[in-house]
Amino acid sequence: MRYWDASALVPLVVAEPTSDAVRSQLAEDGHIVTWAWSRTEIVSAVERRTREGLLSRRRRREVLDRFSRFADTWDEVTEILAVRARANALLARHPLRAADAGQLGAALLVQEQLATPLPFVCLDTRLAYAAELESLRVIPEPMAAQ
């Protein structure tokens, strides 16, 4: 099992230079755990690409339909109050955006429940460094993250 940040899930839905790398991570361990808000972050990424003209309206529908089927296969952290408490504390320690603090808070909640190290799949450098400081094992290594 690996915790997946939205930054690593987006390239599984929309073709990006990092798509092959994250597909290989998924092939190694297909059990995805992510925060419930990841769906919204991914829809935001798809809609932004559509507004920027990188996806046609037809391609947008195809991507969103494929994404919906894909999202139904993963496990989501839905304990909003527990995640919020961790996220608020993380914001005092790290220069994170609110959604990133939520992602990290959700991953830390899962790691606490498992009582074992949890790999954290993330392509956002700032979030990867914060996760590493919080004792998560970041995949790929933060220097390799984009």
Please report, for the chain, the start and end positions of each structural domain, with discontinuous segments joined by +: 2-144
Percent of the chain whose pLDDT exceeds 70: 96
From residue 93, alpha-carbon distances to 41, 56, 90, 142, 143 in Å are: 23, 40, 5, 18, 20
The confidence score (pLDDT) of residue 117 equals: 86
Is pLDDT of 134 > 60?
yes
From residue 121, alpha-carbon distances to 2, 92, 94, 107, 145 in Å are: 7, 23, 18, 10, 10
Q: Which CATH architecture has domain 2-144?
A: 3-Layer(aba) Sandwich (3.40)
Q: Structure pTM?
A: 0.91
d(CA 38, CA 22) in angstroms, rounded, equals 16
The confidence score (pLDDT) of residue 142 equals: 55
The confidence score (pLDDT) of residue 33 equals: 98
Q: Which residue has the tokens 């190694």?
A: 28
Q: What is the pLDDT of residues 17-76, one digit of tens each?
A: 999 999 999 999 999 999 999 999 999 999 999 999 999 999 999 999 999 999 999 999
Give the angle subtended at the CA of 104 by the CAs of 76 and 109, to the nearest 5°.
60
The whole-angstrom distance between residue 27's C-alpha and the CA centroid of its chain comes to 16
Answer for the pair 71, 32: CB distance below 8 angstroms, yes or no. no
Strand 137-139 and strand 2-4: the pairing is unpaired
